[in-house]
Structure 1
């Protein structure tokens, strides 16, 4: 079967369908993305809590860290990049860790890249600047280290020695102050979807407002 004829359909919560191999940026609803990310779990679905941690909650944590670390208000376009940095995982249905991506090879990376390109087109994401991407990677790694200890149950020394994450583990959960939730507790899928969708809609409106103001 040739690449042009290959298809891999998934049904979305809205009833629409998305071809994972040839993704159409106009197919899904924002609510589809929010719910699928809320149902996509990090850390292989493992958790030291009753519920696993979703990619939606992780994305909001990374965004919160970027905002917390910024000396000035984070531009909406940068915030949208943070929120959607793992968006393709919602369509793939799992969070693939980097070492496993290397084993799965180029075909997996190609599918993942095409999905992320569709997300970038749909939400008009701009490319990372080198400086912004470096700070993003630090926020992503700090979030991962903190999740590993507080949400999954990895000992801190194994986060460093086994997982190879050298960034510090946070004591304070930034999301607890924002949402009034129990620190580090994974959210139910409907809660994670609602909070992710609210952030997505707010940031899209802010980005469009900036574009109109500059026109």
Structure 2
């Protein structure tokens, strides 16, 4: 496997344009696997599972701010939300719904950007279309069904409980600020559900390589269950 930063020119040809001619718009990014992801026109074949795991592990919540030595990755957040689903609905065995939960922020890993919620309205319609295109590509790639209104309610609760808990235990917001400033109407959790699964120190952000490994393992586990049942 080639190392990070080593440029692969085997599939590219250098071309020269006449003076004054504008270069075509580049909206693609080269991923760890070597694949190219066109952010403006993504397809379900543009990335490998490991690319997604690495992207989510290197994309940070809360603007990258943290009271710990490391910021909190979207990969770790996604696993926390999935763990909450398992705690709240232990009687439901639905790997497809679990996979949708795990991948609820997958577009952020492909884009490499988790925009804080209060900024999103200022980014406008173009940003919304960009993220929706990535979400569609993810749904097609992994066979995710759209959320129904009944399904979305517990998902949003898990997502917001996770956010309230992260705000207090990871970033350093007070419980009062969670309610009055962040406007999250849920109490932060006392215990970190991920320590029961992975061990370690409660609420401590994982290093990117570890977050990517754990996310990828869960993605493969759920995908494998779907393949076995399909």
**Gap runs ≥5 in structure 1:** none
Instruction: Identify the residue that residue 58 of structure 1 maps to in structure 2.
Output: 77
In structure 2, how many angstroms separate the alpha carbons of the residues matched to 1:52 and 1:98?
Answer: 17
Alignment of 1:1-215 (within 5 A): 7-211=26-230
Task: Please report the RMSD computed on the Cα atoms of aligned residues, expressed in angstroms.
Answer: 1.1
**Gap runs ≥5 in structure 2:** 1-23
Deviating beyond 4 angstroms after TM superposition, the runs of 4 or more aligned structure 1 residues are: none
In structure 1, how many angstroms separate the alpha carbons of the residues matched to 2:132 and 2:64?
Answer: 23
Whether contact under 8 Å (1:10, 1:18) holds in the other structure is: yes
In structure 2, how many angstroms separate the alpha carbons of the residues matched to 1:99 and 1:44?
Answer: 12
User: Alpha-carbon deviations, 1:133-173, whole Å to 9, x = none?
Assistant: 10000000000000000000011100111111111100000
Bigger-Rg structure (1/2): 2
Q: Larger % of helix: which?
A: 1
Whether contact under 8 Å (1:62, 1:83) holds in the other structure is: yes
Using the size of structure 1 for normalisation, the TM-score is 0.93
Whether contact under 8 Å (1:6, 1:21) holds in the other structure is: no
Using the size of structure 2 for normalisation, the TM-score is 0.87
